[in-house]
Amino acid sequence: DQQVKQNSPSLSVQEGRISILNCDYTNSMFDYFLWYKKYPAEGPTFLISISSIKDKNEDGRFTVFLNKSAKHLSLHIVPSQPGDSAVYFCAATSGSNYQLIWGAGTKLIIKP
Amino acid sequence: DGGITQSPKYLFRKEGQNVTLSCEQNLNHDAMYWYRQDPGQGLRLIYYSHIVNDFQKGDIAEGYSVSREKKESFPLTVTSAQKNPTAFYLCASSTGQQETQYFGPGTRLLVL
């Protein structure tokens, strides 16, 4: 049972345009969400997070939106740059929990 | 420079052999984690430790063992009982529960 789903295995976006990566979850107990970026053969690097008490968090070119009623979050990257080409993972956790539950990832390709 | 180191980058295992993957952190983090990544999948938690001398099984602990004798070290042993060990192994650490996890560069394990 996949509790965190990233339904798009890949996404191709023109350089300079907006990239929108989506993530859905099923567990209503999740209250903290994170986005990580991963290059091949490297460990993931943390990008941005959001607590369930918020519906938006922004950090530079990256904005995460959370829609609790729809159990959906999205990562917006504006403007997209070639270095943004990577696999993006969404992860979630709940309460006093050490475990992160991960989506399968979306491969973002930025076209010049 | 603070960070997480994993060694070796590549590791080969013969049938019936146990191998140990190293993970060291100098971030003074209390919690450490081991994940496995297979192609096209998200990260799956093998073991985690929130404090020295204590660790908990994750979702796929069978065939693996860990120890946490020092705060900065969390080695993972892939035993001969793990029938499909070929994967990319990632170690992470965090200050505590529901905190951002920071990752090492990973170790790719291949079975000969």
Interface touch B33/A103, C-beta < 8 Å: no
3-state secondary structure of A83: helix
3-state secondary structure of B10: strand
* pLDDT tens-digit profile, chain B (112 residues): 669 999 999 999 888 899 999 999 999 999 999 999 998 788 999 999 999 999 999 999 999 999 999 999 999 999 988 888 999 999 999 987 777 899 999 999 998 8
Question: Sign of torsion, CA B105 B35 B53 B50?
Answer: positive
d(CA A21, CA A66): 12
List the single residue in A41, A91, A98 with the smallest CB-CB distance to B97: A98
- pLDDT confidence of residue B1: 62
The residue ranges of DSSP E strands in A3-61, in sequence order, are 4-5, 10-14, 19-25, 32-38, 45-51, 56-59
Count interface pairs A-B at CB distance under 8 A.
Answer: 61
- pLDDT confidence of residue B39: 83
d(CA A52, CA B4): 29
Mean pLDDT computed over every residue of chain A: 94
Min Cα distance B16 → chain A (Å) is 26
Q: What is the mean pLDDT of each run of 10 residues along chain A (112 residues)?
A: 90 98 96 94 94 96 97 98 96 83 95 94
- pLDDT confidence of residue B99: 79
